[in-house]
A = this chain, B = another copy of it.
Amino acid sequence: MAFPPDATLADAGEFGLIAALTDLFDQGEHVLIGPGDDAAVLRVKTGHVVVSTDLMVEGRHFRRDWASAADVGHRAAAQNLSDINAMGGRATSLTIGLAAPADLPVQWALDFARGFAEECALVGASIVGGDLTRADQVVIAVTVIGACTQPPVVRSGAQPGDVLAIVGRQGWAAGGLAVLGRGFRSPRVLVEAYRRPEPPYDAGQVAAEAGATSMIDISDGLLADAGHVADASGVAIDVHRGAFEIPEPLQAVGAALGDDPLQFILGGGDDHALLATFPDVASVPTGWAVVGAVAEGSGVTVDGSAYDGPTGWTHF
């Protein structure tokens, strides 16, 4: 279905827009019935099904002037796919709820959906259902369903003596966000990292198979999420400052903004790196970097001391 270039959601109407959106979504073989009925129908094999849900609110989790609709689609999908990755699973199916003002351009919704679908295609997941309604601001609600071929890796399994390791870019998106917040658009590589994170989608399952004892995706910030693992596992986690090489663009941003670039790495979310614990260094898979250690006790320290920089994201 073609819409005039300046058409809004109100012009398109609910059913016309839903039809145009669902046309964008290819269905995998496990999808027996896709969008359009009271519910989608999936074929599943006996085992563990993993489920996660996330909200993104305009003005809080994204700004339409800081990222294109396709970027927002990529990010919305990435943060959900990453939750399944962090369990050691593989995402198979997602639903999208889109609440939006009636004057939202149809093109924004279509570009958002296209970006979302492209990100899902990276892991072979299908968009099997959704809902569309009017609201004062854009709210995106995503639920993702995945499968695990081995027992899921939870936050509560870290043991004293384990090593802490990370995979994926960390601090890049936070650096990009800091740049955008000051009205700049460069370094481009950081702004792009914020707009389209590149989570290490294959790493979760590999870590699970390698015997990771706990795992989490970094969305609140490295120290904050390490804190969730420490709390859930009843252990202390020490992060080693020297384990991080500060990438050149982060050094540049730190210098330009007068910020310690390490705070992007220790406090930033949005890259969806994975943080996991392993019984020993030998079991840490290729591509992961050892960045700390687990001990008896509680809480998170940096080189043995409390960290006094910003440590993450508070939702209220």
- Interface size grouping (class) on chain A: 35 or more
Interface centre among A13, A54, A98 (most CB of B within 10 A): A54
Write out the residue numbers on chain B whose beta carbons fall within 8 Å of the beta carbon of A139: 55, 99, 135, 139, 141
A97: CB under 8 A from chain B? yes
The answer to whether the Cβ of A268 comes within 8 Å of any Cβ in the partner chain is no
Question: Which residue on chain B has the smallest CB distance to residue A17?
Answer: B316
Q: Let me know if B13 and A314 touch, CB within 8 A.
A: yes
Contact B53 A131 (CB under 8 A): yes
Q: How far is the CB of A294 from chain B (nearest CB, A)?
A: 18
Q: Is A55 a contact of B87 with CB atoms below 8 Å?
A: no
Main secondary structure of the interface of A (DSSP, over half): strand
B55 adjacent to A99 (CB under 8 Å): yes
A84 to B316, CA, bound (A): 33
Bound-complex Cα distance A135 to B315 (A):
10
A35-49 vs B, Cβ < 8 Å mask (1 yes, 0 no): 011111111111111
Question: Distance in Å from the Cβ of A46 to the closest Cβ of chain B?
Answer: 5
Known: A40-B50, A99-B139. A315 touches B133 (CB 8 A): yes
Closest residue of chain B to A96 (Cβ to Cβ) is: B53
Interface contact B32-A315, CB-CB below 8 Å: no
Q: In the assembled complex, which residues on chain B have CB atoms less than 8 Å from the CB atom of A52? A: 38-40, 95, 129
A51 within 8 A of B: yes
Beta-carbon contact of B33 and A42 below 8 Å: no
Q: How far is the CA of A44 from the CA of B47 in the complex (A)?
A: 6
Q: By CB atoms of chain B within 10 A, which of A9, A53, A155 has the most?
A: A53
Q: Which A residues, 175 to 231, have Cβ-Cβ distances below 8 Å to chain B?
A: 215-217
Pick the 10 closest A-B CB pairs, nearest first.
A141-B141, A143-B143, A39-B52, A14-B315, A53-B95, A38-B86, A39-B50, A38-B83, A55-B97, A42-B49
